[in-house]
Amino acid sequence: MCETAVNLDIVVPNETRYLRFIGAIAEQLAKELDIQEDKRDALAFNLNLALTEAVANAIQYSSAASSKDSVRICLSVKNADLSVRVFDHGGGFDLTAVPAPDFDELCERGRGIFFIRSVMDSVQYRRTDSGNVLEMRKKIV
């Protein structure tokens, strides 16, 4: 079950108009996996949510001075492991310092990392010499 290795490497301009496109790719990838249908549908929804939130953050916090920047997305499935990495050139942030959102307050912002953590098994963030990487992992069995 789900032994096929899949590697997708996608680079999009630093523009929010590509969010729906990226989400659709993630959703379609999940729907093609050889797992139970109910798990496949849930994974498709969750992967779309996590990836669009991650890419939206990468775009929003990338260097505003250079709108020519791009965001790179790497999706990998091997055996029962799904890995998603989002690379950007922004200022970076401390993932451990991101607080849980206040759900009593009606605010459209500040919930992305919470949603990502809720639907993925692990979330890590690191700075590299060439930018930032948000890595999300999910077991898919």
Q: In 2-141, which ranges are continuous DSSP H helix?
A: 19-32, 37-61, 112-119
Does residue 23 carry a pLDDT above 60? yes
Sign of the C-alpha dihedral, residues 11, 90, 24, 41?
Answer: positive
Contact 47, 41 (CB under 8 A): no
**What is the pLDDT averaged over residues 76-96?**
85
60 pLDDT higher than 90: no
**What does each C-alpha distance from 32 to 2, 35, 74 come to in angstroms?**
10, 9, 17
Which residue from 5, 13, 1 is spatially nearest to 83, judged by alpha carbons?
A: 5
Mean pLDDT of 82-88: 94
Averaged confidence pLDDT in the chain: 85
Distance, CA of 85 to CA of 100 (rounded, Å): 22
Q: Mean of the pLDDT values across residues 33-40?
A: 89
Determine the pLDDT at residue 5. Answer: 81
pLDDT band at 47 (very low <50, low <70, confident <90, very high): very high
